[in-house]
Amino acid sequence: MAAELAQIEQAEIAEIIDGKGIADSIHAEVKNEAEIFNRTYGRFPGLAFILVGANPASQIYVRNKGKACAATGIYSVTDTLPEDITEATLLARIDELNADDTIDGILVQLPLPKHINEEKVIERISPAKDVDGFHPISLGRLMIGADTMFPCTPSGILELLKRSGVKTEGKHVVVVGRSNIVGKPVANMLLQKKKGANAVVTICHTGAPDVAVFTRQADILIAAMGSPESIRGEHLKQGVVVIDVGMNRIPDATTKSGTRLTGDVHFASAREIASKITPVPGGVGPMTIAMLLKNTVKAAMLRKNE
């Protein structure tokens, strides 16, 4: 009983995992590494963005990534290409960037216009420059536990856990959501026989008759299904670590804009149960760009050492 009370008391002060702060430390590390790279090789690591069309969200994403490069000493270029560009022209542009020795990473901002085959475009990027980690060869290497370019949000999640002192070894991680950019790769990374992984992993999704059966078992819950505030405190086990990957804009009459940003987890109720929890915004979000910068430096170093 005393132990139970102590546990509840502890739960009441669920620690917030400061993704923004951790991302800032990574930016500082990248800045230092980029500087060393420049001193050694006479140029800064280079990242090329390809932005097709005028999708406003994509424009903002690329602009923010570009700013992060500028702030950390990564040389970046943005190719803005017209909406009606042919697939062949886009592929030819990727070939040029693959061959460009000043470019270490290539990021094609998704989604692409419907007339272009995304899979084909991603597979055209040289795996050595695949800083998004979306090339199937990167994902296949990830699956077998080899070193590779790891996709940014999943590796950001592992980094958040590590830098918050959360041990994953032998823990039961429950991943809700099976997207190709988060759920599937993060599940595969966490089950590897490696330090900072070695977890039992359950991946559940809309196909499950009752997701709560699984979320209630989680020692570490990763919510990445894109459904606002749908995991609540009552779906969780006391002391769970909650990583909320959701980014949903929902109506909120109390704000000036009439909307607010929220995760896939109902923060207030989950915080009463969890031992640690990421906020939205300021949790997983900032880690994605931080890991993109890390990948760019890694790609630059590997290209020099191959």
Instruction: Identify which of residues 85 and 200 has a Cβ nearer to a second copy in the complex.
Output: 200
Give the alpha-carbon dihedral of 107, 113, 118, 124, to 10 degrees: -60
# residues contacting a second copy (CB under 8 A):
37
Instruction: Identify which of residues 183 and 233 has a Cβ nearer to a second copy in the complex.
Output: 183
Which is catalytic among the residues 18, 109, 129, 244?
Answer: 109
Query: Is 65 one of the annotated active-site residues of the chain?
Result: yes
Enumerate the β-bridge partners of residue 68: none
95-103, 196-204, 230-238, 242-250 -> range binding a second copy (CB under 8 A): 196-204
CB 239 within 8 A of CB 276: no
34 conformational bin, left if phi > 0, alpha if psi -120 to 50, beta if neither: alpha
Query: Is 109 one of the annotated active-site residues of the chain?
Result: yes
Query: Is 132 one of the annotated active-site residues of the chain?
Result: yes
3-11, 12-20, 134-142, 253-261 -> range binding a second copy (CB under 8 A): 134-142
The DSSP annotation for 98-115 comes to HH-TT--EEEEPSPPPTT
Binds a second copy by CB under 8 A, chosen from 7, 25, 180, 255: 180
What's the min distance (Å) between Cβ of 177 and a second copy? 11
What's the min distance (Å) between Cβ of 94 and a second copy? 17
Site for a second copy in 207-236 (CB under 8 A): 207-209, 214
User: How far apart are the C-alpha atoms of 198 and 218, rounded to whole Å?
Assistant: 15
Distances (CA, A) of 260 to 22, 222, 246, 251, 285: 23, 21, 13, 6, 15
The DSSP annotation for 117-154 comes to -HHHHHHHS-GGG-TT--SHHHHHHHHTT------HHH
Please give the positions annotated as active site.
Answer: 65, 109, 132
Instruction: Give the binding site for a second copy (CB under 8 A).
Output: 119, 135-146, 169-170, 172, 178, 180, 184-185, 187-188, 191-193, 198-205, 207-209, 214
